[in-house]
Amino acid sequence: MTHSNSLPRGGVIPPDSSLISREAPIANAAVPSVAVIPMLQHAGRAAVCVVKPGDLVREGMLIGRADGAHSANVHSSIPGRVVEVRRLALQEGISSDAVVIELGGEFDRSGRPRTLKGWEKLSRIDLLGKIQSAGVVGLGGELVPTHLKLAVMPGKSASLLVANGIDCEPSLSADYALMREKPGEIVEALRICQVLVGAARVVLALGEDAEGLVPEFERALARTGLQCEIALMPSRYPQGNEQLVVSSLDGTRLSGPHAGSVVLNVATLFAVYEAVVMDAPLIERVLTVTGAPVAAPRNLKVRLGTPVRDLFDDCGGLSARPGKIVVGGPMRGVAIASLDIPVTKGTAGVTAFAGAEARTPKEWPCIHCGVCVEVCPWDLVPTRLHKLIQQGEIEQAMGEGLGRCTECGCCAFACPSHIPLVDILRTGKRSRGRTVDG
């Protein structure tokens, strides 16, 4: 076990309420009576719907076929009948076709014995095919189809393979809970990925607050013989970002994607395990439901397509009317207007804010204190980018690094004038995208 450097620069330490939920066992959320499953749950184009109203579907059946290299398959999370295929508004103004399935019939997988499949004799093509067919994407936030990250060129190999066990947001504890309950499965998936990418160095990256999980992971690694370092990193947001993890591990300057490095979130690794060893498509994920109004914050294993409103029932309901509900965590979560929004592959958590927490503080003029520059992990000057965007100088802002902004929210969190810097930078990036796309 090693202790690695923290962020190359910047970062913040926001309030963290994950202690409320992190030690409780992962609970199975109720199976929804109606699942609404979008065809867009990944980084590429929406999947092509292959079912129609009236069709009977089985649990785990393909209902959306990947359309293009960066698209991913979509499967039914419940058995039943397709009652509708409709357009659905998702977060941040994105919309997608969605298949509405009414629960009915028998489950093919749930409650039945599962046979573990040997994988060591499978070819590289077969292993990648299983991961691709199962619709596995990066569950840490980027949603890139995982088989693409693992498909290194023939004759080439990765220099570094990282299992990222640092939760993407403060107050979310789903990754921690998954590591606590499934260390053996995560290590087995790491073995599979090491075979695929041929990495010379394998590392499990954990936050300092997860040090208690180290002994169980060491035992799991000893059972398999996988040579893997365990690195503890200071819990400073946004340490879990892929580029920041690699920079902390190899000591190199942060300058964009690191060639030869493959980083996979532990939830993604568990999905790889289920795809290869269990022949199971990605139809559910572990997420955190938290926030002051939530009666019993917890980590739930949830079927994709479950309405957000159902999750609060699994957590004892709401003790007070929330002022705001976001999909995600307190730093990067996206506020939703309707509790009918479904859980997707990218839903790492749902956070409810009390009325006082949800109120937007009064914005004051910039006092040129430079705090936003100090906390930016990407060495940007948010106030300068903010000014350029307000003046409509989007291309100039791109030239000064706007495209490198990950919208982590550190600048807005630290700003004493309460300027919504991350919202402004996000708007600038989106407007530039619309201009480029026509």
Angle at 429 between CA 425 and CA 433, to 5 degrees: 165
The enclosing H or E element of 264 equals strand 261-265
What distance lies between CA 254 and its chain's CA centroid? 22
- pLDDT for residue 107 is more than 50: yes
Alpha-carbon distance values, 207 to 236, 252, 367 (Å): 9, 20, 34
User: In the prediction, which pLDDT does 167 show?
Assistant: 85
261 contact partners, CB below 8 Å, separation of at least 6: 158, 159, 160, 161, 162, 246, 250
In the chain, the domains with their CATH numbers are 2-22+113-277 (3.40.50.11540), 371-437 (no CATH)
Give the type of residue at 364. W
H-type alpha helices, 314-420: 355-358, 371-375, 382-390, 394-399, 410-414
User: In the prediction, which pLDDT does 19 show?
Assistant: 76
- pLDDT for residue 30 is more than 90: yes
Task: Using pLDDT thresholds of 50, 70 and 90, give the confidence band for residue 436.
Answer: very low
Retrieve residue 92's tokens. Answer: 């941040």
Dihedral (CA of 378, 384, 387, 389) sign:
negative
User: In the prediction, which pLDDT does 94 show?
Assistant: 83
Write b or e for each residue in 250-288: b if 16 or more Cβ atoms lie within 10 A of its Cβ, otherwise e: beeebeeebebbbbbbbbbbbbbbbbbbebbbbbbbbbb
- pLDDT for residue 249 is more than 60: yes
160-187 confidence digits (pLDDT tens):
999 999 988 889 999 999 999 999 999 9
CA gyration radius, the chain: 21
Q: Is 174 helix (H, G, I), strand (E, B) or coil?
A: helix
Q: Give the separation between CA 1 and CA 176, rounded to whole angstroms.
A: 18
Q: Based on the number of CB atoms within 10 Å of its own CB, is 3 exposed (0-12), middle (13-18) or buried (19 or more)?
A: exposed
Q: Give the separation between CA 373 and CA 414, rounded to whole angstroms.
A: 10
Q: Give the separation between CA 402 and CA 58, rounded to whole angstroms.
A: 45
Q: Is 98 helix (H, G, I), strand (E, B) or coil?
A: strand
69-85 confidence digits (pLDDT tens):
999 999 999 999 999 99
Q: Which of 197-206, 207-216, 425-434 has the lowest mean pLDDT?
A: 425-434
User: In the prediction, which pLDDT does 92 show?
Assistant: 65
Neighbours of 154 (CB within 10 A): 6
User: Considering the chain, what is the average pLDDT of its residues?
Assistant: 91
Strands 261-265, 284-290: pairing is unpaired
User: In the prediction, which pLDDT does 437 show?
Assistant: 33
Retrieve residue 179's tokens. Answer: 């590591």
User: In the prediction, which pLDDT does 18 show?
Assistant: 80
Q: Give the separation between CA 219 and CA 225, rounded to whole angstroms.
A: 10
Task: Using pLDDT thresholds of 50, 70 and 90, give the confidence band for residue 7.
Answer: low
Q: Is the model more confident about 276 or about 89?
A: 276
330-375 confidence digits (pLDDT tens):
998 988 989 999 999 999 999 999 887 767 889 999 999 999 999 9
Q: Is 348 helix (H, G, I), strand (E, B) or coil?
A: coil
User: In the prediction, which pLDDT does 142 show?
Assistant: 85
| Residue 241 near residue 376, CB atoms below 8 Å | no
User: What is the rounded end-to-end Cα distance, in angstroms, of the chain?
Assistant: 51
- pLDDT for residue 253 is more than 70: no
At 422, give phi and psi (nearest 5°).
-65, -35
182-211 confidence digits (pLDDT tens):
999 999 999 999 999 999 999 999 999 899
Tracing tokens 């705090």 back to the chain, one arrives at 371
Q: Is the model more confident about 43 or about 92?
A: 43
108-117 confidence digits (pLDDT tens):
877 777 888 9
What distance lies between CA 307 and its chain's CA centroid? 18
User: In the prediction, which pLDDT does 438 show?
Assistant: 33
